[in-house]
Amino acid sequence: MITKNIELARDILMQDGIVAIPTETVYGLAGNAFSETAVKQIFGLKKRPFFNPLILHIKSMESLHSVVKEIPETALKLASRFWPGALTLVLKKQAHISDLVTSGMDTVAVRVPNHPAALELLAQLDFPLAAPSANPFGSISPTSAQHVHHYFKETLSIILDGGVCEKGIESTIIGFENDEPILYRHGAISIEEIEKVVGKIKIVTENSENPKAPGMLSRHYAPNTETHLVTNISESIKSYKSKKVGVLLFKENSQLQNCLFQEVLSNTGDFEEAARNVYAALHKLDQSDMDIILIEKLPDIGIGKSINDRLIRAVKKE
Ligand code: TXA
Ligand code: MG
C-alpha cells in the first residue's frame, strides 16, 4: 500500500515490521535498527548479502553519540555543515549496535536524512532506522514511491509516499582513518563541497575487493536491458542500426532527434537536475522494451562525477 500516513508507518516499525520511507536521496527500506527480526527482514526482502552493511538513519546530531564513539573533530565539522542531509559518516560503533547491521565491522554508517516525512517519523520513534536503498540487490535505486511499488508490491505492506526524491542519488559516504576523512562513495554532495570543509581528501571507492567499502560492488544500479556507457552517442548508435535503441542523454542532442526513445537528464546541462532524473530515466528506459540502452557519460566534475560513478556500475558485467 502507498500511503502518506506517518502514524501507520510508525506503528508497523514499532512492531518490527518494514516500511519503505522517502529520503531526499532515494527511498529506503527501513526497520528498527535495534531489532534483529527487523534487520533480518531487510536483508531478506532486498536479497542483500549479509556482508554488505546497512546505514542507520537518526533523528538529529544529538542521537549520534548513542550509536557511535570516538568521533573525530572533522566528522563533527562535516555533520554540522551537512546534516540533515546527504552525507553518511562511517564511525566506530557503540558495542550495542548489532553485527548484523555492520556486517561484523567495528564501524557503523550513520546519517540524518533531510526529508520532512522521514524526520517526522524518526521523531516519533526511540530507535534509529536501518535502511538500505529500497531496491532488490544490484538493481536501479528508487526515487519515487511508484518505483518501490514496482519492486516490492508482493512483499512489502507499506510504502510511505514522500514524493519524488529531491537529490535523486545516494548520500556521499565518508569514513575515517587516523581521524583523516576518506571518501568511500561519491554521492549527492560533491567532493568539491566536502573539500571546502575539510580540505583535500583521499578517495577509496573504486575497488569491489576493498573491505573498507564493501558496498562499492562493481555491478550495481543495473538495468535488466543490455546497457552501454559511451562518450559519443551519435557515433555509437550507428553500430546498432537494426536494433531498438533507447538513449540516455545528459543534454539535448539535435543529431539524435530521430531516435525514438530518449531520456534527457537536463535540458540546460544542470548536474543537480540530472542527478534528480537519472534513476527515473533508467527505470523508464529499462521498462520500454528496448534491445539496447546507450548512455552518455557526463562531464566528470561536481555531481557529474557521482552520476558517472553510478552509470559505470550500471553497465559493468557481473
Ligand atoms: O542515500 C543513501 O545513503 C540511501 C538512503 C536510503 O539513505 N541509502 C543507501 O543505502 O544508499 P545502501 O545500503 O544502498 O548503501 C549503503 C552503503 C553500502 O555501500 C554499504 O556498503 C556502505 O553504505 N556501508 C554501510 N556501513 C558501512 C561501513 N561500516 N563501512 C563502510 N561502508 C559501509
Ligand atoms: Mg543501494
Task: Work out how many domains the chain is built from and give that number.
Answer: 2
Same domain, 173 and 284: no
Same domain, 187 and 266: no
Across the range 28-37, mean pLDDT stands at: 98
Same domain, 10 and 152: yes
Same domain, 26 and 74: yes
Are 40 and 98 spatial neighbours (Cβ–Cβ below 8 Å)? no
User: Residue 237 pLDDT more than 60?
Assistant: yes
Q: How confident is the model at residue 218 (pLDDT cuts 50, 70, 90)?
A: low
Across the range 75-92, mean pLDDT stands at: 98
Same domain, 82 and 129: yes
CA-to-CA distance for 22 and 45, rounded, in angstroms? Answer: 17
104's grid cell = 561484523
The domain that holds 78 is classified in CATH as 3.90.870.10
- Counting ligands in written order, the one closest to the CA of 220 is 2
132 lines ligand 1 (CB under 6 A): yes
Q: Whose CA is nearest to atom 31 of ligand 1?
A: 213
Looking at residue 15, what is its pLDDT?
A: 98
Same domain, 194 and 287: no
Looking at residue 318, what is its pLDDT?
A: 61
The domain that holds 255 is classified in CATH as 3.40.50.11030
- Counting ligands in written order, the one closest to the CA of 54 is 1
H or E element that contains 129: strand 129-130
Looking at residue 269, what is its pLDDT?
A: 94
Instruction: Answer yes or no: is 273 within a domain.
Output: yes
Distance (Å) from CA 235 to ligand 2 centroid: 32
Q: Whose CA is nearest to atom 15 of ligand 1?
A: 132
Same domain, 114 and 246: no
221 lines ligand 1 (CB under 6 A): no
Instruction: Answer yes or no: is 220 within a domain.
Output: no
170 lines ligand 1 (CB under 6 A): yes
Same domain, 253 and 295: yes
Across the range 86-103, mean pLDDT stands at: 97
Across the range 26-54, mean pLDDT stands at: 96
Instruction: Answer yes or no: is 208 within a domain.
Output: no
Are 41 and 18 spatial neighbours (Cβ–Cβ below 8 Å)? yes
**What's the pTM?**
0.95
172 lines ligand 1 (CB under 6 A): no
The residue segments making up the domain with residue 50 are 2-203
Instruction: Answer yes or no: is 209 within a domain.
Output: no
Instruction: Answer yes or no: is 215 within a domain.
Output: no
85 lines ligand 1 (CB under 6 A): no
Phi then psi for 118, rounded to 5 degrees?
Answer: -65, -40
Instruction: Answer yes or no: is 238 within a domain.
Output: yes
User: Residue 208 pLDDT more than 50?
Assistant: no
H or E element that contains 276: helix 271-286
Instruction: Answer yes or no: is 253 within a domain.
Output: yes
Instruction: Answer yes or no: is 210 within a domain.
Output: no
Phi then psi for 250, rounded to 5 degrees?
Answer: -70, -55
Q: Whose CA is nearest to atom 6 of ligand 1?
A: 28
